[in-house]
Amino acid sequence: MELKKLIKISDYEWEIPQTGEMKVPGRIFGSQKLIEEMDEKVYEQVSNVATLPGIVKASLAMPDAHWGYGFPIGGVAAFDPEEGGIISVGGVGYDISCGVRTLLSPLTKNEVEPYLEKLVKALFETIPSGVGSEGEIKLSPAQLDEVLIGGARWAVKKGYGLPEDLEFIEEKGCMDGADPDFVSMEAKKRQHRQVGTLGSGNHYLEIQYVAEIYDQSVASAFGLFQNQVVVTIHCGSRALGHQIATDYLPLLAKASRKYGIPIKEKELVCAPINSEEGLQYFKAMCCGINCALANRQVIAHLVRGVFKDFFPQVHLKLLYDVSHNTCKVEIHEIGGKKKRLYVHRKGATRAWGPGRPELPESYREAGQPVIIGGSMGTASYILTGTKEGEEKAFGSACHGAGRTMSRNQAIRSFRAEEIVERLKKRGIIIMGKSKKGLAEEAPEAYKDVSLVIEATCKAGLTKRVAKLLPMGCIKG
């Protein structure tokens, strides 16, 4: 991206001036290096989002931003329903509520290492992964409706996990407003055996250890300690979320024309939040969120079972579960007034600062745990949200490293066998369902996650708490 197009606000914050049909300026967070490496499409898409009705304050992009459908991946925008604000499929994405959850063990790296290869193999054999993967839970459309309404609460009720888990999941494990009547039968059919499955693409399950602690006080509040073994799960709503997006794109395209909303890019089709079409999509999207929350809850239950086989006395406690492809109703202060806004985060994570009543009581003074995954074989991070981040970015942060290479480029550039062997020499065990999937996810296909984290923190959006390094990783 050309820096001359931007106004420098600080070393880690850049503005796209409000021009033409833009209703607000654009705001991109990142170091000069990260900004220069961003695709020009990020500039274009941030600017396009800024033209949508009812947008508040600015169209935002996180330091890991790259080109996406309609919104950039790493895009954030809030819309005011009282000002004709819209809701957009492109602002949420196809993998609705794709997100991460981290489980904490009382074990140390040294205690797990002797069992690592067998442990990774057992997890790989227990948790279905890969394109079209199916699990043991088979649901009729009526049973699936219960999942879409209940989310992780449904899973806990069915014995997948513990009631105390719900306190450490966004929305306490269940998104209000879900209505399965607005989810197509095709979406339900595609999902009937996918609850409790990892999927493919950049989804993973990773055994990690705490390599470094930056803030001892917050780390203690979160239950983190040096060399501690943790497990992170990254996945979403699987086929159901993708089908919801597919179903609603043409509906919202018609709505855009019906309500006279000018669209700069076809994937930006949208409807007024309070319109019939907008409400239908919101209710369906909430079902997608609940599907993802249930999915991660079931996978966590399976992980706990595998760990029990190796370490019978060990319980894995849930640190937090946070999504990064959502539209949520939130209260934010705008111009000194509290406003009810619909905040779209597409490849961006909610990152509340201290004091928010939505947070678990034990985290309220520290702020929300923000879980940022790196690329395969690289570091991941636990951060915490800030009040400054709430003011600048509606309490949002990056969600990962961000791709620098397309999947096709990665397949042409890397061989799965070489990646697995290279990582094994570093003591990292990798197991994947397909060679193609492993090549697509080569570490070199992504930005340097440490630079993304540095920019996110120096922009004031988050604070560093701990660095995690991988021991074993399962890919679809």
Q: What residues are designated binding site?
A: 95, 202-206, 234, 324-325, 373-376, 380, 399-402, 475
Distance CA 385, CA 369 (A): 7
Q: Which residues sit opposite 371 in a β-bridge?
A: 382
Q: Contact at 8 Å (CB) between 265 and 70?
A: yes
Specify binding-site residues for GMP: 202-206, 324-325, 373-376, 380, 399-402, 475
Pairing of strands 26-29, 59-66: parallel
Distance CA 470, CA 443 (A): 12
Tokens representing residue 239 in the block? 């086929």
Tokens representing residue 131 in the block? 């394109």
Order of strands, sheet of 26-29, starting from the edge strand that comes earlier in the sequence: 7-10, 13-16, 26-29, 59-66, 73-79, 337-346, 325-334
Q: Which residues sit opposite 318 in a β-bridge?
A: 103
Q: Contact at 8 Å (CB) between 461 and 74?
A: no
Of 321, 380, 379, 368, whose CA–CA distance to 101 is shortest? 321
* CA distance to 303, 371, 458, per residue, from 233 (Å): 9, 10, 27
Of 288, 276, 199, whose CA–CA distance to 243 is shortest? 288
Helices (H), 10-91: 32-37, 40-49
Q: Contact at 8 Å (CB) between 182 and 301?
A: no
Q: Which of 242, 332, 344, 399 is catalytic?
A: 399
Distance CA 442, CA 398 (A): 20
- Residue 399 is among the residues annotated as catalytic for this protein: yes
- Measured in whole angstroms, the distance separating CA 474 from the mean position of its chain's CA atoms is 18
Q: Which residues contact 398 (CB under 8 A, 6 or more apart)?
A: 62, 63, 64, 74, 348, 349, 372, 452, 453, 456, 461
Tokens representing residue 449 in the block? 């996650």
Distance CA 257, CA 271 (A): 9
Residues recognised as catalytic: 399
